[in-house]
Every structure is written in structure tokens, then in C-alpha cells.
Amino acid sequence: MATFFIYPEYEDIVSKHDSEVIKKSGGTIGVLDEGLIRSSIDFIRNDLYYKTFEDKLTHLVYSLAKNHGFVDGNKRISIVAGAYFLELNAYDQYVVDVFIREMENAVLLAVRNILTKDELNRIISDYVNLTYLSDETSLIYVKKLKKLV
């Protein structure tokens, strides 16, 4: 039984970058590499690589943050794009709000190569499915957070 997902489009992500990220929190508007942004969006459509919604969401967030397709605001747009992907797929607003609130440090750790993509996936999966971190994920995350200070 196939699951149907609604995916963000390139134009949606660029628009959100300009209006929700840069205009609201500062920085420089502009696309540095359109191909990197498009690949982040296109690759999540591949069900062979990204089987679950959480896998797709993780890749979208991780690749937008790490690949630097925009001139500025790559970590911020990765979180906004992830929240938008949740909204497109009818996730409860509470889940979206938790995701937005909790992803900043996780994305920063991933960009700095302190958190692996698999570890980011565990964190995202917990927040999306539980709206909190499981004890096991929390232990992993706290150890990684200590490396930031």
C-alpha cells in the first residue's frame, strides 16, 4: 500500500526563504546554487532511498542546511522548509510548532558534523511522532549538545 505525500516545490522554498527567513530575521536574499536546492527537494521523492516521511523530512532539512544553496539563511530555511513539509502533509500545528522550536540546535549540530544524519533522523522522528525525545534519543542528543559548549 503506497502512501501519498505532498512535496514542497522549488519556488515555495525560495519564496519562504525570502519572506519568512531573510525579511523576518535578516541576511542576504539570493540563491547561490539552484541545483543544490532543487536536488534537496527532488531527492525526497525517491521512495527507494527515503521510505518514510521522517526519512524524507530528515533529508530535506539536512541537505538544505549542509549544502548551502542559498547565499544566507541555509540553516534557518532548512527548519522552515521542514515545517512547511509537515504542514503540506496535514500534521497538527502543535507538531509543527514543536519541530520549529526544537530543531535549531539539532540542525546546528548536524552542520558542524557533531550529529550524524541518522541521529538527526532519530530526533526528527521523535519530535514528529511523540512531540518529545524518547529517553534513548535524549541521551544521545544531550551528549552531542555538550560538544557545543
pLDDT in tens, the chain (149 residues): 357 999 999 999 999 999 999 999 999 999 999 999 999 999 999 999 999 999 999 999 999 999 999 999 999 999 999 999 999 999 999 999 999 999 999 999 999 999 999 999 999 999 999 999 999 999 999 999 998 87
- For residue 73, CA distances in Å to 14, 25, 65, 139 come to 11, 9, 9, 29
Helix, strand, coil abundance in the chain, percent, nearest 5 = 65, 0, 30
Are residues 132 and 141 in contact, defined by beta-carbon separation less than 8 angstroms?
A: no
H or E element in which residue 125 lies: helix 117-129
pLDDT for position 149: 75
pLDDT for position 1: 39
Q: Please state, as a whole number, how many other Cβ atoms lie within 10 Å of the Cβ of residue 75.
A: 20
Longest dimension (CA), the chain: 46
Please tell me the pTM assigned to this model: 0.95
Are residues 144 and 115 in contact, defined by beta-carbon separation less than 8 angstroms?
A: yes
Superfamily (CATH) of domain 11-145: Fic/DOC protein, Fido domain (1.20.120.1870)
Q: If you ran DSSP here, which 8-state letter would residue 89 be given?
A: T
- For residue 118, CA distances in Å to 9, 14, 104, 135 come to 25, 26, 17, 17
pLDDT for position 3: 78
Distance of alpha carbon 35 from the chain centroid:
18
**Domain residue limits, the chain:** 11-145
